[in-house]
Structure 1
């Protein structure tokens, strides 16, 4: 239980730190947020809990393929905001389009026989 609480606390601190940095500099905040810090934490937590390097490798492989559709969010959201859409509506639409991109990627990977 304490281990889980430490994981949650460390992950939350990371997210809050990024948002605080972004208040001062969106460029620096963007650089920090774009680092695969959450993936690195997931690798560390997974390996620490299982000791299974194969699971870490498999997670890394899955992340690679699913990073591609996640980029849709970072294209759609600023386009909608630049066109004057409300922030919350833009966020919902961008998330929906990103979800569709994930579904499309899963379908493409399945058709290509890529096992995740």
Structure 2
């Protein structure tokens, strides 16, 4: 039952953000940039009884993935601006995300 509640609440939030973005694209983008998924996940993990230690590891994992995600969004934004299709833009962004994350892991393992 709790899984169903999580799905419904999360879907409602995503639906609201999407509707705001349709009417006010810039404001919708700002709202979408909020760490909604991260905070929702943290919230759900907490209410499922996850230990504080694991919550902390989760948050550090989110921080570790943030630079690569920012890179993905840059690639998608510039690809769309260059009139690439959405699918191609997202594909390029995901590829860039993977390469960035791999390079980040290599760089920080050698430091």
Q: What is the TM-score when the length of structure 1 is the normalising length?
A: 0.85
Corresponding residue number in structure 2 for 1:55: 54
- 1:12 deviates by 1.4
Using the alignment, how far apart are the partners of 2:6 and 2:99 within structure 1? 30
For the residue of structure 2 that corresponds to 1:74, the secondary structure is helix
Using the alignment, how far apart are the partners of 2:42 and 2:19 within structure 1? 25
Show structure 1 runs of 5+ residues with no match: none
- 1:66 deviates by 0.8
- 1:51 deviates by 4.0
Q: What is the TM-score when the length of structure 2 is the normalising length?
A: 0.88
Tell me the matched-pair count. 111
- Which structure has more relative contact order (CA 8 Å, sep 6+)? It is 1
- The ranges of structure 1 where at least 4 consecutive aligned residues each deviate by more than 4 angstroms after the TM superposition are none
Show structure 2 runs of 5+ residues with no match: none
Using the alignment, how far apart are the partners of 2:52 and 2:39 within structure 1? 13
Determine if contact 1:22/1:28 at 8 Å carries over to the other structure: yes
Using the alignment, how far apart are the partners of 2:106 and 2:12 within structure 1? 35
Q: CA RMSD in A?
A: 1.5
* Between 15-24 and 97-106, the greater mean CA deviation after superposition: 97-106
